Structures are given as C-alpha cells and as structure tokens.
A = this chain, B = another copy of it.
Amino acid sequence: MAEKSLADQMAVILRETSRNLLANGVYSAAYPLHDLLCEEWASYGVFYKYQPIDLVRKYFGEKIGLYFAWLGVYTQMLIPASIVGIIVFLYGCATVDENIPSMEMCDQRNNITMCPLCDRTCSYWKMSSACATARASHLFDNPATVFFSVFMALWAATFMEHWKRKQMRLNYRWDLTGFEEEEAHPRAEYEAKVLEKSLRKEHKHKETDKEKLTWKDRFPAYLTNFVGIIFMVGLTFAIVFGVIIYRISTAAALAISATPSGRSSVRVTVTATAVIINLVVIIFLDEVYGCIARWLTQIEVPKTDKNFEERLIFKAFLLKFVNAYTPIFYVAFFKGRFVGRPGDYVYIFHSFRMEECAPGGCLMELCIQLSIIMLGKQLIQNNLFEIGIPKMKKFIRYMKLKRRLDYNLEPFSGLTPEYMEMIIQFGFVTLFVASFPLAPLFALLNNIIEIRLDAKKFVTELRRPVAVRAKDIGIWYNILRGIGKLAVIINAFVISFTSDFIPRLVYLYMYSENGTMHGFVNHTLSSFNVSDFQAGTAPNDPMELGYEVQICRYKDYREPPWSENKYDISKDFWAVLAARLAFVIVFQNLVMFMSDFVDWIIPDIPKDISQQIHKEKVLMVEVFMREEQGKLQMETWKDKDKKKGENCNNHSPRLSLSHSGSLSSCHSYPVDV
C-alpha cells in the first residue's frame, strides 16, 4: 500500500503545483502526469527502478498498465533465470578441459579417419579437425544443461503463478476485483453485415426477427481462414525447405571450386548466409503475416471487439510462431538425422544429398541458429522497427502537415504487437533452453531496454490511447501456459535426441569397461569399407590425407563391414533409442508433476489480499445493514408523521441482494424497528 500512497501523494502535489502555476498565469496548460511519466518512467536512466505502474495506469488506463506490469514481472523473473543460465554456461566453460569425449576427439594420436560428408567432392577427414566444434559443443551439452531445462520449466510455472498473484494484487489496488466486462457492443462491421442479411431475407419471406450471423453465413469466411492458414504454414515450410536446398546446392558448388584449405570456410560461409536469409525471411514474413491475420479476421466479421482481438491474436500467434520456429525445429530434430549411410545416402530430387550436421554435432548448429535468430530478431525488430519507423512516420507526417501538433503522432494500434514480441521471446527463453542457456540473459538485456523503449513510445511517439479497463491479460495468459507446456516436451526431446547426453549415459552404464567415458567416441562411430562405395559417390581425391584409406568411420550405430548383415542398424542403435525415449517419458512426467506441484503450493490470491477483500465485504454488509435500518426508522417516522393510525406493515420494497455475494449472509440480520 506504500507505493499507492506515494504515487497518490506525488500526483496530488503535482496537481496542486500545476494548478497554482496555471492560476498565476505562468502556464496556459499543463500535463503534469505526462511529464512525471517522462522523467520517472520513459527514461533509460531509471532502468534499475521499479516502474511507477500506478501512474501508468492513471494515465493510460488499466489495460496498458497491466501490460507494463506484466512486462515488469517477466523482466524481473528473468534475472534469476539469467544468473542460473550464466552459471550453467560457466560450468560448461570450466569443465571443457576435463571432458573426455572432446579430449578424445582432439587427441591427434586417435588417428581416426572419417568418411566424406558429401559425394565425390568431399574427401576423408581427420576426426581431430573437428576438435574446436567438439569443445564448443561441450559448453551447451553437459549435465548442467539437463538441470537447467528442469529449472527453466519450473521457472515458467513459478512465473505464471507469480503473475497471477501480481495481477490479483493490482486488481485489488485498482478496484477491479468486482469488475466484469460489460456485454460488449457489436462491431459496426457486424451490424452492417446483419443488416445486409436481413434486407436480403426480407425479399423472400417477411420475417423481422432479430437477425444474427450463423455458422452458415460465416462458412465461406471460415473456409478461407482455414485454407489461408494452411497455405501460410505451407509457405513457411516451403521457404525453410528452399533455404535448405540453397545450403546444400551452394555448399556443393563452392566445394568443387574451393581449394582443400578453403573448404572449412565453405561451411561457415554457407551456414552464415543461410541463417541470414532465414532471419530476413522471418522478419519480412512476420509483417506480412500480421497483415494477413488481420485481413482473415476481418472477413470473419466477429461480433464484438473482444472476439475480434482474440481471433486475430490466435491467428497471428500461430503464423508467427510457425514462422519463427520452423528453421529451429528443423535444425533441432531433422537435420543430419535421415541422411542414410556412406554408400547409401538419402537424396532429395535425386541430386541433393540430405544435409549432415557439422562434425561437432547438431547441438552446436542449433545453438548458433537460435542465437542468431533470437538476437537478430530482437535487434532489428525492436530497435529498427520500434524506434526507427515511428520516428520516420512522424517525420513524414510533420513534413506533410507542416504544423507542430499532437496530430502528427502515430495513432495507437493496440497492444497485440507488443505482447506478441514478448511471447515469441518467451518461446526462445523456454522452448530450446536446453541448447542455449544464455537465452534468458539476452532476453533480460533486451527487456531492460524494451520497457523504457515502449514507455518512450507510449509517452512521446503515439497519440495517447483511450483508457480501457481490463482485469487480466486475456488470451495471452493461455498462450503463455501453452508455451510452458510445449517447452517441457521440446526440451525433453532436445536433451535426449539432439544432445549426446543419453548416448553418453548408455555408454557409461552399459558398455564402459572401467566406468569412465574413455572409448565413447570410438563407440559412437561405425565403420565403412571404402570398397562398398556406390559408383560415382567415392571421393575424387581419396589420397587427400596423404595415405590410402581402407576403412573410414561415420557417426551412427550400424553393423561393421565384417558383420553378416553389414551396415544394418545395430542393436546399440535400438538400445540408445529406447534409452532416449525412456528419458523423454521420465523427464516429461517428472517436470509436469513438479510444475503442477508448484502450481498447487503457491496460492493464486495473496493471503493479505484475500483477507482484505473478505474484511471489506463484511464491512460493506455492516454499512449496508445500518443504512437499511436507518431507512426503516425514517420511514416509520414518516409514516407516523403523515398517516398516523394506518397499517405500518407496508414496507418499501426491500432490496433482493441474494445474488450479490456475501450479502446473502445478512438474511437473518435482526432489524429492530
């Protein structure tokens, strides 16, 4: 309550001061709250302070107040997540030199000759040349990451609970506990459509019932929506697939011309350009999808504004989510998995070989992909779009109008883009956190700026929006919960399928002879007899390493060439697969159980607030009863005064308050007349 009174006091003082100044003719007009917000909130200098949420609510209304409160809670909750993330990362850094698998990979004495990663142009290569990636992989692929993804799942559950409590507290402070959204008025578009329909109908048979749009009227729009969304999702997949083809073909083309020494840079070049293409496409499609979602919702003609907003958000979220995460899902779960084996590779369109992961494993690539897309999206969308474009629009407007008025500010276009940005970021923080423990840190840094940036935008760049009341953040809460649930299963799959955690455990407990990880690298590699290459797939330059190769190795669990069923999937493969799947089941159920437990032990309403609400209800009943009693006495007195001798039983109609909450407990209250 201290915050409240402080904010109130400040507002009062300001109002008084400005009134004096106005009265003295010093100013002709004053916007004291506006200026206060400018100083105390919309400034980078105060980034370490709590936001003056009550003032924000006073100036912009509850709905925007709740957005900033939510953003504040989210940012605050990111602090512990970032700290733990940094510790996990540092643990990876500290243990990289003790990590036996990467030591084995780097050891020049383990003279392991690897099979070529592509047809003809690629040649055999030394395991130890992938040393750097193997060491880097360890930073993100160590037992601490498993702990971290459990931690982050619980963090997400705690965050949701914490927000629910904060929201309840704000509801109480902002006098919204009993607030219910009023039955919303139909949108003008809806009314027009209904009118049109009833006019059309009147020609046929004269019915003048209250018309409304039925499922039948809306069917074409629903169909368009369905087809449109399927098409957009298909488009996203097609583009991601196109980028894959680009990567494969460019890599092949570059590899032909490159000198052996420059071949390693080919991969870097191709990967980098491909990720940048992905990023540009994501940012571009994000804008396009926003417009398409709006158009699709408009043709649906939802009845109320609330309906419109929910449908729009749902569609926009679906499209943007697919857009942002498809390339990441590809790298996490598909890249390098269905490549076949040396001598029997899988080809797309009969000419492109499926991509392999870099020698250090797919996790490293996932990590790079994640960090570039996350950081690039944040930097470009936040800084360029959120600051640059409004400023530019303002300038254009200013040039056009040549007058310095508030009118050259941008109109307010709803909170959806602001929430959307944060929710997609929440996805980056939770969904793939097992492969990128620094995500919370980057999100935190971004949000510290984001809060003030948004504040500046609302205070200085946009026309002041009409204040709207709201009790909660609406459909976003459900979306957050959905992401939280999805995160558990995705992290389970990342740990068990993308990282080497499970194969390492299986080796340690099933195969290791002395209980250490020595020999693990050898265990994960299968052998291939170079005489088994199919025609036209053997490397052009088989002597690149300087010696003739008989047997090369590749990362897979397959039978050796000297086995009866050579190159068949081996027993180890199935054993490791079973272990991976078992881990997914255990991880998912354990984390879900723990999340439910967190959900259960943290009460939704803070105890002080619920007590306070209860007390006020009791108080209200008391006041109400006193009033009623007074009224009765007054009536009696009036009756006595005016119609003496008449029957006094004729009371004024009593309030029937039985549905108004705690008042029902007063039914038996003794009224002494």
Contact = CB atoms under 8 A, between A and B. Distances in A.
A180 B656 contact: no
Interface string A429-470: 000000000000000000000000000000000000000000
Interface string A136-156: 000000000000000000000
Contact of A581 (B178, B582, B653, B661): B582
A299 interface: no
Interface stretch (A97-105, A414-422, A616-624): A616-624
B178 A662 contact: yes
Contact of A578 (B581, B614, B655): B581
Contacts of A577: 574, 578
Given A178-B664, A570-B571, A571-B570, A616 B659 contact: yes
Nearest to A655: B623
The A contact surface, by secondary structure, is: helix
B617 A659 contact: yes
A214 interface: no
A179 interface: yes
B578 A574 contact: yes
Contacts of A574: 571, 574-575, 577-578
B638 A634 contact: yes
A402 B9 CA distance: 77
Contact of A180 (B584, B623, B631, B661): B661
A585 interface: yes
Interface string A592-623: 00000000000000000000011011001001
B581 A656 contact: no
A589 interface: yes
Interface residues of A, number: 45
A489 interface: yes
B614 A665 contact: no
A663 interface: yes
Nearest to A589: B489
Nearest to A571: B571
B658 A175 contact: yes
Nearest to A641: B641
Query: Max chain B CB contacts within 10 Å: which of A179, A585, A617?
Result: A585
A19 to B, nearest CB: 22
A201 to B, nearest CB: 25
Contact of A178 (B489, B582, B638, B663): B663
A62 to B, nearest CB: 12
A513 interface: no
A665 B178 CA distance: 10
Nearest to A630: B652
Interface string A168-200: 000000010111101100000000000000000
A627 interface: yes
Query: Max chain B CB contacts within 10 Å: which of A570, A574, A613, A659?
Result: A659
Contacts of A634: 634, 638
- Ordered nearest first, which 10 A-B pairs have the shortest CB separation? A574-B574, A178-B661, A581-B581, A571-B571, A577-B578, A578-B578, A574-B575, A616-B659, A175-B658, A574-B578
Given A581-B582, A627-B631, A661-B661, 8 more contacts: A178-B664, A179-B664, A180-B614, A180-B662, A581-B584, A588-B588, A620-B659, A634-B634
